[in-house]
Amino acid sequence: MFIRAYLRASTEEQDAGRARESLEQFATDHNKVIASVYLENASGAAADRPELLRLLKDARKGDVLLVESIDRLSRLPVEDWQKLKAAIDSKGLRIVALDLPTSHQGMQDTKGDEFTGRMLGAINSMLVEMMAAIARRITNSGESARPRVLKRPKRLESTKADRLTSICTSV
């Protein structure tokens, strides 16, 4: 089993390698070593990504496709995502995403327990589909995948503030 790390950033200005250290630490924590790193700056909504295609060409049955998060792998439209997922499945790759704990079992060798391997694989596949759908929704809505920074509420009008103050102090 080879660990194949895929790192992607959406634009040339972004650092596609920013998560490399996290992926390497994750592999080390699971007593594994990353065999190959595939790094590119390309939109996750584009199907034609040279490094991802090279990863698929290099992959062998049982290898792990390690990503920071599912949205690094795909923000593709449904039809293109289904084609990519079929290519991943046909290669026998196991998707492991740092932000999807149920996928972490993919770092283990389950050859001795076929039932557990299949059950966990089915659960992981379902969750990967869900995360890909969320990434698509974010992409289609124009939202950022990064967490939003909460803003302070607008200042209350002075009459409302005075009223609230009087209510609070009268109690």
Nearest alpha carbon to residue 42 among 34, 52, 32, 56: 52
Query: Which of the following is catalytic: 10, 36, 103, 144?
Result: 10
- Burial of residue 104 (number of CB atoms within 10 Å: 0-12, 13-18, 19+): middle
153 phi/psi in degrees, rounded to 5:
-65, 155
What span, in angstroms and rounded, lies between the C-alpha atoms of 149 and 54? Answer: 36
10 is catalytic: yes
The DSSP symbol for 14 reads: S
Q: Would you name the residues annotated as active-site residues?
A: 10
